[in-house]
């Protein structure tokens, strides 16, 4: 999987820096966050440098609950959600793509959770992110 590119601990990820790295996916970034801010205004976004992965990650939360993680990769960005086994039936019945359902079903376990990662290089992926946000909030 593509490696995060925001690895300079001393360089906070401003929009200018982010947009210079994600290239043509800037419009996807803007559309995604416009939709999140409109439909899910209670979500908070926080950038933090993590020493274990040696990169900046955005954590999107609702109160104290993490909804998803975002990392910037070359010419795109990726969004990762983590769900426990209890979420399995709801995920399988949801409208997310079959590829994402398969990723959850067959994905590597981290204790009792599994991840779903979406590389945001197509506008249609916004629909899946918004659906996963709704599922994560339940």
Residue at 72 is within a domain: yes
**CA 78: distance to chain centroid?**
5
The domain tally of the chain equals: 1
pLDDT band at 78 (very low <50, low <70, confident <90, very high): very high
Residue at 83 is within a domain: yes
Q: Which domain holds residue 49?
A: 15-137
**With 90 as the cut, is the pLDDT of residue 138 above it?**
no
Task: Write down the pLDDT at residue 1.
Answer: 54
Each residue's pLDDT tens digit, 86-124: 999 999 999 999 999 999 999 888 888 999 999 999 999
Phi and psi at 64, nearest 5°, equal -100, 0
């Amino acid at each position: 999987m593509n490696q995060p590119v925001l690895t300079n601990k001393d360089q906070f990820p401003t929009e200018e820096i982010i947009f210079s790295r994600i290239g043509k996916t800037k419009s996807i970034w803007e559309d995604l966050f416009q939709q999140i801010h409109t439909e899910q205004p209670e979500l908070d976004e926080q950038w933090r440098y993590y020493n274990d992965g040696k990169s900046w990650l955005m954590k999107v939360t609702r109160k104290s609950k993490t909804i998803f993680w975002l990392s910037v990769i070359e010419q795109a960005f990726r969004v990762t959600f983590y769900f426990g086994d209890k979420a399995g039936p709801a995920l399988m019945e949801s409208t997310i793509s079959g590829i994402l359902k398969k990723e959850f079903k067959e994905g590597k376990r981290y204790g009792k959770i599994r991840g779903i990662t979406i590389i945001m290089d197509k506008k249609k992926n916004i629909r899946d992110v918004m659906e996963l946000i709704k599922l994560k909030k339940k």
